Structure 1
Amino acid sequence: MDSRPLFQALQALAEDNVAFFRQSATETGRRFVAAFTAIREHARCMEPALRHFASICHIFDLDEATPANGYRSLAQTARCCLAHVLHKSRYVAANRRSIFFRTGHNVAELEAYCAALAQLRALLYLAQRLLTHNRPGCLFHHEERGLTEQVLQEYCTLHKGCFYGRCLGFQFAPSIRPFLQTIAIGLVSFGENYRRHDSSLSMAAGSLFTSGKFAMDPELRGAEFERITQNLDVHFWKSFWNLTETELLASVASLASTPVRVSRALIVPPESFELPLAADPSLTITITPPVAHTGPGPIHMRLISHELREGQDSEALSALARTEGSLGLELWRKVTPAPPSPLLLVHFHGGGFVAQTSKSHEPYLRSWAQELGAPVLSVDYALAPEAPFPRALEECFYAYCWALHHCHLLGSTAQRVCLAGDSAGGNLCLTVSMRAAAFGIQLPDGVMAAYPVTLVRAAASPSRLLTLLDPLLPLSVLCKCLSAYAGTEPAEGEPPGLEKLSPVNMMRRDTALLLRELRHSASAWLGALLDGVGRNNGASTGKSAVRKSISEAALDDNSTVESRSSRKSQTCQDLSCGVPAPPTPAPSPSPQGSPRVSFFLSGEQQEVVSARAEGLEYPDGFEPLRSDQPPANLTLEASPVVKNPFMSPLLAPDNMLCGLPPVHIVACALDPMLDDSVMFARRLRELGQPVTLQIVQDLPHGFLSLSQLCRETRQASALCTRIIREILLPTEPMPPGLEDSAPPPPCSVL
């Protein structure tokens, strides 16, 4: 893709706007000049890097029909950001003389995207380092230390708040950005009210009264989002993601999803049974229950079927069912059961190995049950860090074997079986298939893995660099989840406020806590409102100081390289790549002790940054923006368990991968986990294994859980359904991809 017209137009607009606003003596005029000067410099330096990636990125594709890898995604993201800047620059040039032109808003937008360009420029430099040091054709850095460790240390100090404020989700489809903004506002509000031993519902109630300020102030939202992703532990993320498990939200999702005759939660006792060997059915092997970490225990599952089938209303299955309250009533009373289906779909949910259940994934599972005409068995495996590897794998494998042995209870004859899962569930689909091959039992007829993680460790790759700006999968969160699954994250037990209670007691407890929190939060909100009347001027001054710090670093456009080098130690912000910086402003206060974004570091912080990022220097005296938050505690895990092929199938030897059934992967072009899918598909292709890789554009990681949100997510979910149908009913041709169904990318102007 030729980006020269984009850069030429952007340079011309930047020069025109600089010439216009130089005539203004106002503070806003100086900010416009600084922002456009920095944009011009960033664009000039990014152009050769993007041109270089465009010339080599095809080397890392799976094949010519599947143009996807982390280098492409990073370059696409940078071009998309530049396209947003170009659009904003045109708007400013066309409306800057209008009396209705909002100068404050527009200069803040430009400054935000200017900061984003600075950070993307740093990511392009890091990707160039990976390109130089990686093995030919390899997307992951092959050394455990070295560059991977340097990239992690650099990530810990880079500023990320600009990607969570005004620029949130700029790289994704426009239809999904409002949802991402809602998630971000909810996350920071939940984080501000987070107390480890309180109920998630009560904290959500308190968040209702604090969400408004984060919706009105994007800079504050970005700073708080960065604080949360840097500092809070895995238990916070469990609490936040499990909000979808509450009865209230689950009932709303159930009303909006496809109605089904059967949705039964099952508890299977830990009992051994025999399964025939695939090579010789006259011989059997004993399948024993999971025992890792906590010993034998029951396995939780959910059976979903669009219509009632024989066996699903049996007394044997009813004995395994557990009550879910009035919201879990079934619709199969007085219905004549249909014959068993020859098809069976076994599903493993996502959630980073640490959160969620089949209930939060039930909306799209109901659609699958209807469109495929097959019973769906979704497994609620034990979650980390309380139950690290290999407990989840053991439970999923046992559930798969149990489904084959007791398929008559599920309304199926299991003549055709498919494994399906997303994210962490995709990993479990692959590893369960590997274990089934090792045991010699019946393999699934195929695997549909959506955006799976195939390398469960913090490894540097170009797509994983996108965790710096991904609102759903920041690197610090990814590392916490992976370390929890590996067993290196401390498990302090489930908080008392999150204990599993009976449905009736849960509703009573949550209702009481909700009313209590509403009263307390309303009182606190009113008090803060009255107290803040006298501080409005001070807060406004602080806000101006923060925004001023973004642009003043680019005021002098004529500094020499020598002066840049001499001033490099004075500040970590250099938006215009080597221009003088003003003195460090004092950070402005914010509620709950969370500082606003400060793009400057103290001398002590700079020493920490230089020590942690030693060995990574940027060319031309450039320095990206640095975070004012304490560095995230990201360390490389040296435990041998992370190299276990049943944890990281990408590291499995050839003989284990050769035993896999046909694998069909659906990945997202802008997903930090993209390189996991590309490299795993390439390994299978090199071994002659049947594998397909489908790429969806402009959607984030986890789109299956958002399947009813917009047209793009519905189309991506329909692709997954078509793949599963091809596995279960292999008479229809496999769709070549999303070319005929996917909408054009939002940055197609490039």
Structure 2
Amino acid sequence: MDSKAVFSALYEMCEENAMFFSGGPERPTGDAAQRLVDTMVTIQEHARSLEPVLAGFSSIYHHFDFDPHVHANGYRSLVKVVRCCLLHIIQKGRYIASNRRSIFFRMAHSAGEMEAYCSALCQLRALLYLAQRLLHDNSHGNLFFQEESGLSESFLQEYASMHKACFYGRCVGFQFTPAIRPSLQSITIGLVAFGENYKKHQSGIGVAAGSLFTSGKYALDPELRGQEYEPSHVLYLILCQPFDLPMVSDPTRMVTICPPAAHIGPAQIQMRLISSELREGQDSEKLLALCRSEGGPISLSLGLKAKKCPPSPWLVVHYHGGGFVAQTSRSHEPYLKSWSQDLGAPLLSVDYSLAPEAPFPRALEECFYVYCWAIKNHNLLGWTGERVCLAGDSAGGNLCITVSMRAVAHGVRLPDGIMAAYPAILLTMYASPSRLLSLMDPLLPLSVLSRCLSAYAGLSLSLSLSLSLSHTRTTLGLVRRDTALLFKDLKQGASNWIHSILESTRASAGMWDTISSVAIPPPSSEQNSEGPREFPASFEPLRSEQCAEMKMDSSPIFRNPYMSPLLAPDQMLRGLPPVHIVACALDPMLDDSVMFAKRLRNVEQPVTLCVVDDLPHGFLSLSQLSKETREASNVCLERIREIFTSKDPPLEMREHRKLERTNHGASGVKGDPAMLFERSSKEEHGQAVV
């Protein structure tokens, strides 16, 4: 259904329902009927204002795609989310029209449903206005605003004051595939574990993030619960001994790999060796000395067959996600076991030290050390030493890229490729259209994201929940109060508890090789005594009663290339192995992947970008819960297989590069997208175009 048909259906539905509930002999009486009338009228008002804005974005968003084959960027995502909201409203409105005469029709419930989606539509309208300003104020062709002050700071303040509870109640996860929504509701319920864990352990952001990303999955999948009781094979490295590796440019010269020392000094690194077959070397005395079996002999703990297989030519080194502050290799084990079995290769997953106790660059040091150790000790892992791939999701995707950058800098062997799923590549708080989705994302809200990044950067520990007595009492009081509210609101289809928890936190917040800035004033901004206004005079988004205090930290550590590889100079990106990025169209971090893929292509580095639809950030952790998430996990698996089986850059890369050269100038931006936005909006509604 095209946009015109969507809006026509919406207007027709709203007018018909409003007419029924506002007059006529069959009109129901009561407050709920009037609420429905008022909501239908308000929805029409929002829709009439949104229609030209959507038309404008639809005319220009293709200019921000990675290439003509990959239709994805933050502007597209915002338009898609708005259309999805409109379709949900139409569906619910038609249900009301079909059942409103029934004696079983729950008018108050239906009024609440429509009010929730009306509020969501209002806030989405605000996001589109903010994206419109971003389009006009940003540098030409760039998805990110290049400064921390000004527009980025303004967006942060808007996030702090805008009402977000409407996205976490009846509307939670409406933008995602229907198969994943029950899982999101279970994760919402599982957030109560944050309160319980905090009271028991008085730990901070790691517990919060761990609950956020992992709670709920065990309630949905009994097999996952059962796996938690299986013994696992754990390796420990004592990081006190340096070792040498040969240089790639001259194998007769050696490079010394020093053990990690940042922040906490020499310490153990825990890893899991996952293998579907017992391979030569995996039962060696040297490896056994590094192992701790949590349930019996190594053969039993790995679930391996008695027959020993020859070493595999392939090895996957995996870095888990979790915002640098949470999760372990074990929390990712379900899909990693599947990968190991399908590939017929061992997989080494690293439990790097977590922030805030071990901030940057500790995790990077440990991941690089383990990668080099695996290269040197391949015979212990059931691997011939031939091909190695780095794989990771979110924060782990960041570590895959930065470990490879460090390997380039040291001159040691590079991995044969990288598979990075929805990676965190820019750790600043720069504004972008996809990052506006953090206002409504149930798994990656900006308040949680900013605290994770601040903890990784080693900034104020208060961002990780101070353990002072007064702060503990305040937080526990909120947990107790809001836990009770959660169960009450879930009965009503809303979970405002999440809103209050997330809004009570503080947040914090280069080098760009892009086209020069084009200064075009946003048509929706107006000057007043308080400065530029973000929205038209006739519109104001819903505001929270208590605004969170949002601050943008401008510490230069966020712009360190080993923390934010998108900001790395060209010379640091040249020489990287092939990078395969698997991103999510509805992920607040989508623009990170799009812009990084463009940067790699611009320096002629082999790169592919695949964008999966209708799934949230973190889908690998939910891979056992639906057909869609399993298929997305298989996309990541096939990218790894391609790294192992390809000698040259993948055909897809070569074809894309050829297409870019052929179409250069022919399919480029003819005129600035901001100007095309205004032209399309005016033409759509019969206005004169100057």
One-letter identity of the residue aligned with 1:5: A
Contact 2:168/2:499, CA 8 A, preserved across alignment: no
Q: Which residue of structure 2 aligns with residue 673 of structure 1?
A: 589
Q: Which residue of structure 2 aligns with residue 56 of structure 1?
A: 60
Is residue 2:450 matched to residue 1:479? yes
Write out per-residue CA displacement over residues 461-498 of structure 1, whole angstroms, 9 at most, x where no aligned residue.
Answer: 000000111100001011011111111140799999xx
Contact 1:163/1:169, CA 8 A, preserved across alignment: yes
Distance (Å, rounded) in 2 between the aligned partners of 1:244 and 1:40: 38
Contact 2:122/2:541, CA 8 A, preserved across alignment: yes
Change (3 A) 1:633 1:387: farther
Q: Which residue of structure 2 aligns with residue 143 of structure 1?
A: 147
- Which aligned pairs between 1:713-732 and structure 2 lie closer than 5 A? 713-730=629-646
Write out per-residue CA displacement over residues 210-231 of structure 1, whole angstroms, 9 at most, x where no aligned residue.
Answer: xxxxxxxxxxxxxxxxxxxxxx
Write out per-residue CA displacement over residues 403-443 of structure 1, whole angstroms, 9 at most, x where no aligned residue.
Answer: 00011101112211100000000000000000000000000
- Displacement after TM superposition at 1:732 (Å): 11
- Which aligned pairs between 1:702-717 and structure 2 lie closer than 5 A? 702-717=618-633
Contact 2:212/2:443, CA 8 A, preserved across alignment: no
Is residue 2:225 matched to residue 1:266? no
Distance (Å, rounded) in 1 between the aligned partners of 2:651 and 2:621: 22
- Displacement after TM superposition at 1:314 (Å): 0.6
Contact 1:257/1:367, CA 8 A, preserved across alignment: no
One-letter identity of the residue aligned with 2:385: A
Which of 627, 652, 665 matches 2:568? 652
Which of 640, 661, 680 matches 2:577? 661
Change (3 A) 1:250 1:403: farther
Q: Which residue of structure 2 aligns with residue 514 of structure 1?
A: none
- Displacement after TM superposition at 1:615 (Å): 3.6
Q: Which residue of structure 1 aligns with residue 534 of structure 2?
A: 617
Q: Which residue of structure 1 aligns with residue 211 of structure 2?
A: 240
Q: Partner of 1:322: helix, strand, or coil? A: strand
Write out per-residue CA displacement over residues 268-324 of structure 1, whole angstroms, 9 at most, x where no aligned residue.
Answer: 111110000011111110000000111122222111111001110011011111242
- Displacement after TM superposition at 1:101 (Å): 1.4
- Which aligned pairs between 1:14-163 and structure 2 lie closer than 5 A? 14-23=14-23, 24=27, 25-163=29-167
- Displacement after TM superposition at 1:722 (Å): 0.7
One-letter identity of the residue aligned with 2:246: P
Runs of 5+ consecutive residues of structure 2 not aligned to the other structure: 468-479, 504-526, 654-690
One-letter identity of the residue aligned with 2:406: R
Distance (Å, rounded) in 2 between the aligned partners of 1:288 and 1:117: 54
Write out per-residue CA displacement over residues 189-248 of structure 1, whole angstroms, 9 at most, x where no aligned residue.
Answer: 335556444489xxxxxxxxxxxxxxxxxxxxxxxxxxxxxxxx6244145258679999
Q: Which residue of structure 2 aligns with residue 745 of structure 1?
A: none
- Displacement after TM superposition at 1:729 (Å): 1.8
One-letter identity of the residue aligned with 1:414: G
Is residue 2:193 matched to residue 1:190? yes
Change (3 A) 1:185 1:249: closer
Q: Partner of 2:388: helix, strand, or coil? A: strand
One-letter identity of the residue aligned with 2:171: C
The alignment yields a C-alpha RMSD, in angstroms, of: 3.5
Write out per-residue CA displacement over residues 137-189 of structure 1, whole angstroms, 9 at most, x where no aligned residue.
Answer: 100101120000000001001111010100010000001100101111221x3
Distance (Å, rounded) in 2 between the aligned partners of 1:190 and 1:254: 16
Change (3 A) 1:616 1:193: farther
Q: Partner of 1:310: helix, strand, or coil? A: coil
Q: Which residue of structure 2 aligns with residue 437 of structure 1?
A: 408
Q: Which residue of structure 1 aligns with residue 384 of structure 2?
A: 413
Is residue 2:284 matched to residue 1:314? yes
Change (3 A) 1:346 1:106: same
Q: Partner of 2:327: helix, strand, or coil? A: coil
Distance (Å, rounded) in 1 between the aligned partners of 2:128 and 2:84: 14
Change (3 A) 1:612 1:144: farther
Distance (Å, rounded) in 2 between the aligned partners of 1:102 and 1:122: 31
Q: Which residue of structure 1 aligns with residue 336 of structure 2?
A: 365
Q: Partner of 2:235: helix, strand, or coil? A: strand
> More displaced, 420-429 or 239-248?
239-248
Contact 1:257/1:366, CA 8 A, preserved across alignment: no
Runs of 5+ consecutive residues of structure 1 not aligned to the other structure: 201-232, 497-523, 530-538, 548-589, 598-609, 738-750
Distance (Å, rounded) in 2 between the aligned partners of 1:382 and 1:674: 26
Q: Partner of 2:633: helix, strand, or coil? A: helix
Distance (Å, rounded) in 2 between the aligned partners of 1:621 and 1:735: 52
Distance (Å, rounded) in 2 between the aligned partners of 1:368 and 1:612: 59
Distance (Å, rounded) in 2 between the aligned partners of 1:5 and 1:297: 62
Distance (Å, rounded) in 2 between the aligned partners of 1:163 and 1:198: 30
- Displacement after TM superposition at 1:16 (Å): 1.5
Q: Which residue of structure 1 aligns with residue 358 of structure 2?
A: 387
Change (3 A) 1:9 1:620: farther
Q: With structure 1 as the length reference, what TM-score do the two structures score?
A: 0.75
Contact 1:425/1:452, CA 8 A, preserved across alignment: yes
Q: Partner of 1:715: helix, strand, or coil? A: helix
Distance (Å, rounded) in 1 between the aligned partners of 2:146 and 2:162: 24
Distance (Å, rounded) in 2 between the aligned partners of 1:158 and 1:494: 23
Distance (Å, rounded) in 1 between the aligned partners of 2:56 and 2:498: 46
Distance (Å, rounded) in 2 between the aligned partners of 1:707 and 1:288: 37
Q: Which residue of structure 1 aligns with residue 440 of structure 2?
A: 469
Q: Which residue of structure 2 aligns with residue 284 of structure 1?
A: 254
Distance (Å, rounded) in 1 between the aligned partners of 2:305 and 2:587: 46
Q: Partner of 1:274: helix, strand, or coil? A: strand
Contact 2:276/2:341, CA 8 A, preserved across alignment: yes
- Displacement after TM superposition at 1:100 (Å): 2.0
- Which aligned pairs between 1:343-362 and structure 2 lie closer than 5 A? 343-362=314-333
Write out per-residue CA displacement over residues 677-730 of structure 1, whole angstroms, 9 at most, x where no aligned residue.
Answer: 000000011111100000100000011111111110111111111110110122
